[in-house]
């Protein structure tokens, strides 16, 4: 039943409810799909036995009339979420052999609501990257790559850091996947692979049990093939968690109910500063197209100004590495993961961390250590914090004039492995449209809006007020329907 892997979550829930198929059948189809897409290197750990056991339990619950909101839906989990008894690597050598004795709050919530785990998907090491090329377990290939499977004529990146999540969902090996977004790690890969990805407001999803990259920015979110599916999955992932002090004690709305299609009278902010120099014509064109679609649906575009946008990337690349340099200090070879012995404690640290961390992670630890050092703290870290506050104020001001903001998600379509790789700054520029909302803690979503001249997906980004994911989702669905993208990846399970 290969057709099962092409269903949306909403359709799969209907089919399960109508007993067209069972959770076991749905899961079996996906377990097979996971095997089929191995050439993409999307999964680090496949958990087929666990998936089938969970599916069986799900069918039993459904039979008893205890079906949860995601009952029987097979999903993939970014390997940054700790999963009890299942290796959790953060795509790093330094977590070799680490099997958590605990389950992250977000994944616990998903299992509570009936979801089924297919396995742990690949990512950039410690979520640091925009192309999923920094993983210790090898790069992920986008299913949009042209050429023969495994012998691609051009190996496209799926984006990053949630590249494995994006590839698995786009290639129809999972109905959805968890992602995490620190500066764009859900939205940019969603745009690159033609799927939907939403980063909710900072504080919506618990960070407990998620391997930390930059604590003040990290936020989990769903990656799915439709906006409706994102609404379903987001609802299950969210919720207050007393174990995360930054988690917010607010009721979780029924996001699906917000998808009314009615955006009449809504003001859509178009930030003039996002028309960056050298923006490719097709990016500008899809943005204009998005504005036109929303106008047609009765919304009113308004030009807004986010004057500190130009400092956002620099601010992000100070704040995120600073926090990362401290968050990653715990990987010292003493209690879990990799240990490379040395003659002294210092030698052991150096050997372990030298061998355990990849080049990009080491680069960011160095940057972060530098910007927090005595004598540089005020010039870098403290200044960045001040600018971050200004960026937040920019959005506060903007949202006095509009209800939602529309921008492109990424400055280009997916690039090929080998491109943009020599210069880390060039790679960091991928995050130019996604980073400001991360710094402000706002909800942001990427929706497929069309394809570029190269036939590759283009995404548009919607940003909302804090805790107003509902408007973001509602407007996103209007774009999704108007765009009605039919293109699919050349390689699907």
Partner 1 sequence: MSYIQGETGDWEIVIGLEVHAQVISNAKLFSGAATAFGAEPNSQVSFVDAAFPGMLPVINEHCIEQAVRTGLGLKAQINLHSVFDRKNYFYADLPQGYQISQFQQPIVGKGEIVLDLPDGSSRTVGVTRLHLEQDAGKSLHDQHPAKTYIDLNRSGVALMEIVSEPDMRTAEEAGAYVRKLRSILRYLGTCDGNMEEGSMRCDVNVSVRKPGAPFGTRCEIKNVNSIRFVMQAIEYEARRQIEIIEEGGKIDQETRLWDTTKFVTRSMRSKEEAHDYRYFPDPDLLPLELDPEWVEAIKSTLPELPDDKKARFIGEYKLSPYDANVLVSEKARADFFETVAKGRDPKLAANWVTGELFGYLNKAGKEIEESPVSAENLGGLIDLIADNTISGRIAKEVFEAMFETGEKAADIVEKKGLRQVTDTGAIEASIDSVLAANADKVAEFRSGKDKLFGFFVGQVMKATQGKANPALVNEILTAKLKG
Determine if 180 is a binding residue for partner 1 (CB under 8 A).
no
Q: How far is the CB of 91 from partner 1 (least distance, A)?
A: 13
> Can you tell me which of 140, 205, 210, 451 binds partner 1, judged by CB under 8 A?
210
The Cα 270–Cα 285 span in angstroms is: 14
Q: Which of 395, 435, 405 is nearest to 188 (CA)?
A: 435
250: left (phi over 0), alpha (psi -120 to 50) or beta: beta
Span interacting with partner 1, options 7-15, 37-45, 241-249, 476-484, rule CB under 8 A: 241-249
Closest CB 206 distance from partner 1, rounded Å: 9
CA dihedral for 325, 326, 327, 332, sign (positive or negative) = positive
> Judged by CB under 8 A, which stretch of 48-56, 157-165, 317-325, 414-422 contacts partner 1?
317-325
Collapsed DSSP state (helix, strand, coil) of residue 459: strand
Cβ contacts of 65 within 8 Å, gap of 6 or more: none
216 near partner 1 (CB under 8 A)? yes
Locus of tokens 């930390």: 212
Regarding 273 and contact with partner 1 (CB under 8 A), the answer is no
Distance CA 209, CA 470 (A): 26
| Contact letters for partner 1, residues 359-378 (x by CB under 8 A) | ----------x--xxx--x-
Size of the site for partner 1 (CB under 8 A): 43
CB of 340 to partner 1, least distance (A): 15
Output phi, psi for 300, to 5 deg. -120, 115
Q: Catalytic pick from 135, 142, 145, 161?
A: 161
The C-alpha atoms of residue 205 and residue 212 are separated, in whole angstroms, by 13
Least separation in angstroms between residue 238's CB and partner 1 is: 17
Residues 420, 194, 33, 135, CA torsion sign: positive
Residue 381 touching partner 1 (CB under 8 A) = yes
Q: Does 349 bind partner 1 (CB under 8 A)?
A: yes
Q: What is the dihedral of CA 273, 274, 280, 285, to 10 degrees?
A: -110
Q: Is 185 a catalytic residue?
A: yes
Using the rule CB under 8 A, give the single segment among 19-27, 42-50, 178-186, 334-342 that binds partner 1: 334-342
Is 493 one of the binding residues for partner 1 (CB under 8 A)? no
Touching partner 1, residues 27-86 (CB under 8 A): 81-82
- 């991928």: which residue's tokens? 430
Which of these segments, 28-36, 38-46, 99-107, 276-284, binds partner 1 (CB under 8 A)? 99-107
Mutual angle of helices 227-237 and 469-483, in 10-degree steps: 160
Question: Is position 247 annotated as part of the catalytic site?
Answer: no
Determine which one of 58, 78, 162, 325 is catalytic.
78
Instruction: Confirm whether 142 is a catalytic residue.
Output: no
Query: Per CB under 8 A, does 261 bind partner 1?
Result: no
CB of 27 or CB of 219, closer to partner 1: 219
List, in order, residues 6 or more apart from 251 with CB less than 8 Å away: none
User: Rule CB under 8 A: is residue 8 a binding residue for partner 1?
Assistant: no
Q: Is 404 helix (H, G, I), strand (E, B) or coil?
A: strand
Question: Which residues, 6+ apart, have CB-to-CB distance to 369 below 8 Å?
Answer: 325
Classify 59 as helix, strand or coil.
helix
The token pair that represents 388 in the structure block: 């971050």
**Matching residue, tokens 């339990």:** 57
Give yes or no for residue 211 binding partner 1 (CB under 8 A): yes
**Nearer Cβ to partner 1, position 373 or 386?**
373
**Residues binding partner 1 (CB under 8 A):** 81-82, 88, 90, 95, 98, 100-102, 104, 207-212, 214-216, 242-246, 322-323, 325-326, 328-330, 332, 334-336, 345, 349, 369, 372-374, 377, 381
**Residues with a known catalytic role:** 78, 161, 185
């Amino acid at each position: 039943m290969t057709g099962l892997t092409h269903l949306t979550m909403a359709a799969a829930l209907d089919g399960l409810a109508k007993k067209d198929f069972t959770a076991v059948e749905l899961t079996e189809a996906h377990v097979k799909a996971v095997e089929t897409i191995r050439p993409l290197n999307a999964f680090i750990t496949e958990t087929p036995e666990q998936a089938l056991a969970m599916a069986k339990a799900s069918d039993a619950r459904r039979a008893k009339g205890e079906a949860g909101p995601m009952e029987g839906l097979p999903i993939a989990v970014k390997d940054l979420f700790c999963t009890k008894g299942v290796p959790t690597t953060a795509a790093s050598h330094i977590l070799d052999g680490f099997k958590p004795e605990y389950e992250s709050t977000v994944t616990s919530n998903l299992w509570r609501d009936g979801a089924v785990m297919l396995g742990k998907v690949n990512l950039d090491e410690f979520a640091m990257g925009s192309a999923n090329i920094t993983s210790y377990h090898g790069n992920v290939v986008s299913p949009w790559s042209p050429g023969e499977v495994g012998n691609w004529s051009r190996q496209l990146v799926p984006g990053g850091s949630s590249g494995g999540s994006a590839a698995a969902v786009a290639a129809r090996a999972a109905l959805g996947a968890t992602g995490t977004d620190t500066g764009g790690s859900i939205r940019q890969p969603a745009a690159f692979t033609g799927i939907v990805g939403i980063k909710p407001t900072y504080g919506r999803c618990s960070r407990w049990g998620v391997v930390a990259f930059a604590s003040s920015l990290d936020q989990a979110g769903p990656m799915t093939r439709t906006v409706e599916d994102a609404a379903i999955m987001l609802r299950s992932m969210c919720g207050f968690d007393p174990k995360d002090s930054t988690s917010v004690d607010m009721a979780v709305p029924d996001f699906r109910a917000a998808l009314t299609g009615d955006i009449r009278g809504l003001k859509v902010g178009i930030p003039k500063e996002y028309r960056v120099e050298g923006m490719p014509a097709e990016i500008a064109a899809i943005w204009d197209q998005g504005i036109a679609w929303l106008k047609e649906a009765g919304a009113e575009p308004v030009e807004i100004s986010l004057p500190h946008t130009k400092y956002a990337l620099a601010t992000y690349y100070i704040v995120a590495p600073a926090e990362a340099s401290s968050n990653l200090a715990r990987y010292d070879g003493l209690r879990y993961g990799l240990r490379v012995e040395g003659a002294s404690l210092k030698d052991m640290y150096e050997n372990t961390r030298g061998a355990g961390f990849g080049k990009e992670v080491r680069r960011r630890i160095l940057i972060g250590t530098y910007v927090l050092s005595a004598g540089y703290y005020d010039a870098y870290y403290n200044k960045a914090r001040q600018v971050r506050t200004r960026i937040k104020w920019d959005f506060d001001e903007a949202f006095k004039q509009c209800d939602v903001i529309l921008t492109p998600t990424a400055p280009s379509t997916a690039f090929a492995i080998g491109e943009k790789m020599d210069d880390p700054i060039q790679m960091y520029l991928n995050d130019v449209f996604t980073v400001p909302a991360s710094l402000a803690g706002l909800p942001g979503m990427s929706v497929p809006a069309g394809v570029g001249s190269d036939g590759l997906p283009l995404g548009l980004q919607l940003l909302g007020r804090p805790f107003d994911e509902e408007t973001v989702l509602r407007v996103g669905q209007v774009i999704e329907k108007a765009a009605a993208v039919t293109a699919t990846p050349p390689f699907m399970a």
